[in-house]
Chain A
Amino acid sequence: QQQVKQSPQSLIVQKGGISIINCAYENTAFDYFPWYQQFPGKGPALLIAIRPDVSEKKEGRFTISFNKSAKQFSLHIMDSQPGDSATYFCAASREREGGKLIFGQGTELSVKP
């Protein structure tokens, strides 16, 4: 009920390409879905987040697509750059339980020049 499953575990993309990372959740009570970016030796940094009242949210090169019926959401990174090489985590929480983020296992993205 509390799991968030993330795939793929690792991803290699050429510079300028599109990186796509997928997540699936089980608990239909989740109503907040953020994506975090983490560089080695650093804490996770919030990239973009979505709530289930919209199906897509775009901020610069980053887009979240959300499919409520399938209980899935994904992160698209357009025009991927070597500086985007990092580990990406999806997460989910219930607003009523504010602060208890359930994280996916992470995706290590490598963007080749």
Chain B
Amino acid sequence: DAGVTQSPTHLIKTRGQQVTLRCSPKSGHDTVSWYQQALGQGPQFIFQYYEEEERQRGNFPDRFSGHQFPNYSSELNVNALLLGDSALYLCASSFGSREPQHFGDGTRLSIL
């Protein structure tokens, strides 16, 4: 039973570029949430996707956008990258947006 998988594991970008991160939820899960974890901090909620729509959003600018596909996989897009966007980006999945959530190992994004 595959857990939550994320790709790529590491990524290096420069300021102003755009990036797309990918997530496949745990088998049987239909809801995907994205979190940003800065070094030494707890994860912060970015947004959640259910039935291919954004259901909830945290306190992140419009530069952060996402998408959910019919197979429940999801993408996180970040435009106009800033140095402060350097972080571990975590994807979590659940069934019907109910707890508990299961996390992937994240994508480490570094902005130069």
B30 CB to closest chain A CB (Å) equals 11
At the interface, yes or no: A100 with Cβ under 8 Å from chain B?
A: yes
Contact A98–B98 (Cβ < 8 Å): yes
Q: 1/0 contact trace for A30-67 toward B, CB 8 Å?
A: 00101010000111111001000000000000000000
State in angstroms the CA–CA spacing of A18 and B109 once bound together.
36
Q: 1/0 contact trace for B41-52 toward A, CB 8 Å?
A: 111110010100
Partner of B90, one of A6, A43, A99, A100: A43
Contact A43–B105 (Cβ < 8 Å): yes
Q: Count the A residues whose beta carbon is within 8 Å of the partner chain — how many?
A: 25
At the interface, yes or no: A73 with Cβ under 8 Å from chain B?
A: no
State in angstroms the CA–CA spacing of A46 and B45 once bound together.
16
Q: 1/0 contact trace for B32-65 toward A, CB 8 Å?
A: 0101000011111100101000011010000000
State in angstroms the CA–CA spacing of A106 and B101 once bound together.
18
Q: Count the B residues whose beta carbon is within 8 Å of the partner chain — how many?
A: 29
State in angstroms the CA–CA spacing of A105 and B58 once bound together.
17
At the interface, yes or no: A102 with Cβ under 8 Å from chain B?
A: yes
A44 CB to closest chain B CB (Å) equals 5
State in angstroms the CA–CA spacing of A89 and B44 once bound together.
12
At the interface, yes or no: A93 with Cβ under 8 Å from chain B?
A: yes
Q: Which of B1-54 contact A (CB under 8 A)?
A: 4, 31, 33, 35, 40-45, 48, 50
Contact B56–A106 (Cβ < 8 Å): no
Closest B residue to A89 by beta carbon equals B42
The interface residues of chain A lying within 8 Å CB-to-CB of B106 are 43
Interface positions of B (Cβ within 8 A of A): 4, 31, 33, 35, 40-45, 48, 50, 55-56, 58, 90, 92, 94, 96-106
Interface positions of A (Cβ within 8 A of B): 6, 32, 34, 36, 41-46, 49, 89, 91, 93, 95, 97-106
Extra contacts besides A46-B100, A101-B33 (16): CB < 8 Å: A34-B99, A43-B90, A43-B104, A49-B99, A95-B98, A98-B31, A98-B96, A98-B97, A98-B99, A99-B50, A99-B56, A100-B48, A100-B58, A102-B45, A103-B43, A106-B41
